[in-house]
Every structure is written in C-alpha cells, then in structure tokens.
Amino acid sequence: MDKRKLGRLQKALSEEHDTLLRTMSRNREAEEEILVEKTEDEGDLALISHNKELLYNLHESDFRRLKAIEDALKRIQREEYGICTECEEEINEKRLVAVPWAMTCIACQEEVEREDASETTMTGVTRQIRT
C-alpha cells in the first residue's frame, strides 16, 4: 500500500479513536446518572435494569472497537498493516477504507463472525445466570 493511502487511514484511525474515547466517557456519565436513580416503583426498576443492560452492551462494543483501532495503529507502526492476521493475505483496500481497523480479510472475517455468534449466545446465558 502506498504511503499516502496509509497516512490517510492512519489519520482516520486516530480520529475514530478520539471520537470513541469521548463517546465512552459520555456513556460513563450517563451510566452514573442511572446508577444514582433510586426508586421503589417496580416499573421504573425494570426500566433502570434495562438501561443498564443497554449500556453494558454499548460499553462492550465500544471497548472492542477501541482495542481494534489501537491494534491497527500499532500494526501501522510495525509495518504489518493491511495484512490479514488469519491467512496473511493482503486485505482489500476498499475494505480498509470502509473499516480501517479491520484485522482480517473478508473471508476470514466471516469465519470470525460465525464463531462470535455462538460466543455471544454463551455470554448471554452466563449473564442471565449472574443476574
């Protein structure tokens, strides 16, 4: 990949990183507001726990994204960027423009998503047991 394109992707990644950090700190503030709310009303309690669940899911996906962006920035520094971490083929440039933090090519990503789907179901069950 040429340096100019790489530079643009690096910039996009840094910007996304900053935006995400801001979003995450806003979400934390929103969460604190929900946590301080106290009520005896059962309907309200259900709503609060529903909101907590939503925030939990939000945090988790933001956190994953943040980590993926940081990884991508590190890979740019190590000059490993744009190589699929699974099959070590070059990742399609169009894919990188759309998803600059992509770690895998489309074929490998589809594989990962299949695994993720079963993993999500499992965490869902674990969480239900805990609550």
Interaction of residue 96 with Zn ion, rule CB under 5 A = no
In the three-class reduction of DSSP (H, G, I as helix; E, B as strand; rest coil), residue 94 is classed as: helix
Amino acid at 72: A
Query: Which CB, 13 or 84, lies closer to Zn ion?
Result: 84
CB atoms within 10 A of CB 101: 21
Question: Which listed residue (46, 87, 97, 125) binds Zn ion by CB under 5 A?
Answer: 87
Interaction of residue 111 with Zn ion, rule CB under 5 A = no
Interaction of residue 108 with Zn ion, rule CB under 5 A = yes
Query: Which CB, 1 or 87, lies closer to Zn ion?
Result: 87
Measured between alpha carbons, how far is residue 1 from residues 5, 55, 96, 104, 105 in Å? 7, 38, 11, 16, 15
Residue numbers at the binding site for Zn ion (CB under 5 A): 84, 86-87, 104-105, 108
